[in-house]
Amino acid sequence: MDLLTELRSRPLIFDGAMGTQLIAAGYRPVESPESWNVSNPEVVAAIHRAYLEAGADIIETNSFGGSRSKLTAYHEAERVVELNGAGARLAMAVRDEVAPDKLVAGDIGPSGRMMPPLGDATADELRDVFAEQSEALVAAGVDLIAMTTFFDLAEAKAAVLGARAMAGSLPVLISLAFKPSPRGYRTMMGVTPAQAAATLLEAGADVVGANCEITGEDMPGLVAEFRAATEAPLVIQPNAGQPSLVDGHTTYGETPESFASFMPAIVAAGANIVGGCCGTTPAYIAALVAALRG
């Protein structure tokens, strides 16, 4: 499947959350989630398998926090190549077995560092951090790079530049986390969809969009703001509703069916790739597939 050609003719479907699935399988934050690519590969493989069996066209590697800067918190900074490579090979092996025509995206999240005035990271340092992780994922054979849940446009630009330098002709996707405000949608750092699209496409992204923070109900308006600013392909991954704490566990408000019910409007507004973020499970992706493909 050629991603950038295919998404022009039909909406493609991403998978759902990895982190909440790992926690459900017993992961606790005494080690990095990415270390489970090596220590508990059967758990990660089973999550990938469930998303492919639910009908996802693209699965994301277990590498959201696999950058050197994030792994440092677990004293695993020297494992960037090992853990990202293992995550990519694991996802590709499941894909090859279950659904060989589907795609594996190398997932990359924020660095955990801030640029001035909030922190001391430089754009060049962050670009190098993202390039290192991208190189490890690309070398292992992923089909595309998917960077998700960014808030700061300068960091997101560094991420695209780093990925673009290593990805060759592979597609680079990037999405930010927006919330509605009285003046339109903004990230926590005040970035608008139009600013994100202009800066990140210029930096070399092929697909831009939004994930996390909000539910499917708030997404059509956000997609419309993106569409007013760009013709580029859009990726949209809402949460499974608003989080709330019940008996010490985070739960999300939408059922698989109510989550999926917003998707036709999101696609009609202009989204080309849709999937799920926090709280979504294979059941949510199966409902999404049913809502879009009948």
Binding site for Zn ion (CB under 5 A): 212, 277-278
In the complex, least distance from residue 116 CB atom to Zn ion, rounded to whole angstroms: 27
> Closer to Zn ion at the Cβ: 170 or 278?
278
We find the least distance from the C-beta atom of residue 120 to Zn ion, in angstroms, to be: 27
Nearer to Zn ion, 11 or 279 (CB): 279
Closest distance between Zn ion and the C-beta of residue 178, in Å? 12
* Nearer of residues 233 and 279 to Zn ion, judged by Cβ: 279
Judged by beta carbon, residue 167 or residue 277, the one nearer Zn ion is 277
Q: How far is the CB of 110 from Zn ion (least distance, A)?
A: 12
DSSP-assigned letters across all residues of the chain: --HHHHTTTS-EEB---SHHHHHHTT--TTS-GGGHHHH-HHHHHHHHHHHHHHT-SEEE-S-TT-SHHHHGGGT-GGGHHHHHHHHHHHHHHHHHHH-TTSEEEEEE---S---TTT----HHHHHHHHHHHHHHHHHHT-SEEEEEEE--HHHHHHHHHHHHHHHTTS-EEEEE-EEEETTEEEETT---HHHHHHHHHHHT-SEEEEEEEEEGGGHHHHHHHHHHH--S-EEEEEESS-EEEETTEEEES--HHHHHHTHHHHHHTT-SEE---TT--HHHHHHHHHHHH-
The residue among 135 and 254 lying less far from Zn ion, judged by its C-beta, is: 254
Smallest distance, Zn ion to C-beta of residue 81, A: 26
Residues paired with residue 180 on neighbouring β-strands, in sequence order = 185
CB of 227 to Zn ion, least distance (A): 22
Residue number with CB closer to Zn ion (129 or 277): 277
